[in-house]
Amino acid sequence: MNTALEIHDLTVAFDRKPVLWNIDLMIPQGQLVGVIGPNGAGKSTLIKAAMGILPLSSGYVRMFDKPLEDVRERISYVPQRESVDWDFPASVLDVVLMGRYAKLGLFKRPRKADKDVAMDCIKKVGMEGFINRQISQLSGGQQQRTFLARALAQQADLYFMDEPFAGVDAATEKAIVTLLREMTDQKKTVIVVHHDLQSVSQYFDWVVMLNTRLVAAGPTDTTFTAQNLEATYGGKLTLLTDVADLMHRENYPSREENIFKP
């Protein structure tokens, strides 16, 4: 099994209070991975620590069996939309071209080939009609599509995405899921922080269940179980009456049913 992400003994603490504790985790290449857990479980912290955005209190991270510094150009990150300054004066094309900067080197201007890649990525997310629109004038779903296009323009092998479905409409969610599946079909690995339990079984090949510690990780069909859900959410799991439905993989809200209708 080729490994995209390997984490050993990872602890992250803020003001000496652990946010993540003693995480051991391996994720194989070419998987669409959902990271789930209650609020405050450390989901966003996990991907930020893996990418070197947050310091580690202990442990180490390897990607493609190498340190992050050796493979940084193969890694891409889509942050939470709320963490971005959307008033920054930039067009959709400007933002997507930012995804090419790591391949340009210092002080080099985008070439025609870079603009062609950017335009192709913009088309993949259905934003070709908005290339000159200022990002502050976009809807939430359009902003999320633009950020996804920027990540695609990096042409990475491992993608971290922090709640890419938050605040988007059903059509955008369907478009994003379809795109992520196309990416994993091309052997890309996509790791998604996700909060909607009722779509986990449909969306993800692999699931990571966190609550400060790692509760479980593995293929969704064998890992996303009622027992692991209770261990992950404890008394916070208000959907316990729905867990049996989740296990049967059939009684989903109409929005999720519509996601996968042609």
Q: Are 213 and 22 in contact (CB under 8 A)?
A: yes
Determine the 3-state secondary structure of 207 from DSSP.
Answer: strand
Q: Dihedrals φ, ψ of 208, to 5°? A: -115, 125
Name the pairing type of β-strands 32-36 and 206-211. Answer: parallel
Assigned superfamily of 3-83+156-259: P-loop containing nucleotide triphosphate hydrolases (3.40.50.300)
Long-range interactions of 130-137: CB distance < 8 A, separation 24+: 130/92, 131/91, 131/92, 131/93, 132/91, 132/92, 132/93, 133/91, 133/92, 134/89, 134/90, 134/91, 135/86, 135/88, 135/90, 135/91, 135/92, 135/95, 136/86, 136/87, 136/88, 136/89
User: Tokens 């310091």 appear where?
Assistant: 55
pLDDT tens, the chain, 262 aa long: 799 999 999 999 988 888 999 999 999 999 999 999 999 999 999 999 999 999 999 999 999 999 999 999 999 999 887 777 778 889 999 999 999 987 666 557 778 889 999 999 999 999 999 999 999 999 988 998 999 999 999 999 999 999 999 888 888 898 899 999 999 999 999 999 999 998 999 999 999 999 999 999 999 999 999 999 999 998 655 554 455 455 554 444 444 444 444 3
Say how many C-beta atoms besides its own lie within 10 A of residue 168's C-beta. Answer: 21
Q: Dihedrals φ, ψ of 147, to 5°? A: -65, -35
Residue among 200, 157, 204, 215 nearest 3 (CA):
157
What's the rounded Cα separation, in Å, for the pair 197 and 224? 10
Q: Dihedrals φ, ψ of 132, to 5°? A: -100, 5
Amino acid at 18: P
Query: What pTM was computed for the model?
Result: 0.87
Instruction: Write out the H or E segment, with its range, that includes residue 219.
Output: strand 213-219
